[in-house]
DNA sequence: CGGAAGATCCACT
DNA sequence: GTGGATCTTCCGA
């Protein structure tokens, strides 16, 4: 048991991630991203995710079983971080999630700051002005910037280190909205698959809001 | 070896 | 709503 006044910090177990990516994406809503820095710890509650299925999913970096230097982490064990650089200026954070070794993963699209608010504001350039809804961690690039996540985390496990996923109470099914994923119009039929999950109506969820 | 496009964000009109 | 930033990655030739 945790001492009074503290939150029990139980990391999500490897078996949590060793399931279908869509299920993991859905159940990661409400869980906590914990980023330990030298002087501060940032805690952020996950409010939006997307599942990428792997070989059979044209939107996935593992489509057709592709293996490249960039996506090597997708083939490591479930629970490993996959971080890649995109559009010349942004990072995107994923966790490997699959039960078949096929490169499935979950992208973290948005989160809500629970602790370390000052640190996140500073990293996002809002030290001296008020952020509007969604400005801090609403979007995969913003989330990485605000949490200080970069390619150093690529291929590292979400466990016992500077970046962790910690269990929190599950969110009720009625609070979850599902819809098509963002920015993958090129992906043919897969573009319409409802693999984006978000807390219904949450202010940090990026647009367009699903459901 | 070159070119095109990208799981995005921000400022500006 | 539109376009520019900025650069890595990947595929085709």
**CA–C1' span, A208 to C1, in Å?**
15
Average pLDDT, integer, range A12-36: 98
| Mean pLDDT over the full length of chain A | 95
A144: confidence class by pLDDT, cuts 50, 70, 90: very high
Average pLDDT, integer, range A112-131: 97
Which residues face A81 on adjacent strands? A95
A207: confidence class by pLDDT, cuts 50, 70, 90: confident
Q: pLDDT value at position A4?
A: 58
Geometric angle at alpha carbon A99, from A96 and A104, rounded to 5°: 40
Q: What is the pTM of this model?
A: 0.95
Q: Is the pLDDT of residue A189 over 60?
A: yes
Q: pLDDT value at position A204?
A: 87
Q: pLDDT value at position A8?
A: 66
Distance from first CA to last CA of chain A, Å, rounded? 38
Per residue in A33-49, pLDDT tens?
A: 999 999 999 999 999 99
**CA–C1' span, A205 to B11, in Å?**
21
A121 touches strand B (CB under 7 A): no
- Classify residue A153 by its DSSP letter: G
Question: Concatenated DSSP letters for A66-126?
Answer: ---TGGGGGGS-TTBEEEEEETTTEEEEEEE--SSSS--EEEEEEEEEEE-HHHHHHHTT-
Q: pLDDT value at position A160?
A: 81
A1: confidence class by pLDDT, cuts 50, 70, 90: low
Q: pLDDT value at position A116?
A: 98
A109 closest-nt by C1' vs CA? B7
Q: Is the pLDDT of residue A12 over 90?
A: yes
A89 closest-nt by C1' vs CA? C6
């Amino acid at each position: 048991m945790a001492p009074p006044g503290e939150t029990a910090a139980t990391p999500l177990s490897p078996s949590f991630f060793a399931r279908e990516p869509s299920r993991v994406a859905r159940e990661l809503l409400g869980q906590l991203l914990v980023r330990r820095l030298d002087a501060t710890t940032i805690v952020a509650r996950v409010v939006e995710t997307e599942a990428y299925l792997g070989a059979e999913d044209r939107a996935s970096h593992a489509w057709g079983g592709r293996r490249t230097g960039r996506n090597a982490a997708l083939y490591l064990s479930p629970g490993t971080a996959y971080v890649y650089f995109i559009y010349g200026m942004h990072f995107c954070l994923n966790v490997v999630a699959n039960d078949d070794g096929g490169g499935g993963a979950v992208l973290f699209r948005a989160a809500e700051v629970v602790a370390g608010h000052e640190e996140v504001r500073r990293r996002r350039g809002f030290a001296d002005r008020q952020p509007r809804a969604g400005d801090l961690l609403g979007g995969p690039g913003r989330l990485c910037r605000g949490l200080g996540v970069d390619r150093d985390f690529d291929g590292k496990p979400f466990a016992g280190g500077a970046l962790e996923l910690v269990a929190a109470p599950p969110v009720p099914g009625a609070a979850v909205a599902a819809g098509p994923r963002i920015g993958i119009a090129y992906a043919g039929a897969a573009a319409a698959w409802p693999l984006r999950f978000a807390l219904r109506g949450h202010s940090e969820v990026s647009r367009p809001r699903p459901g």
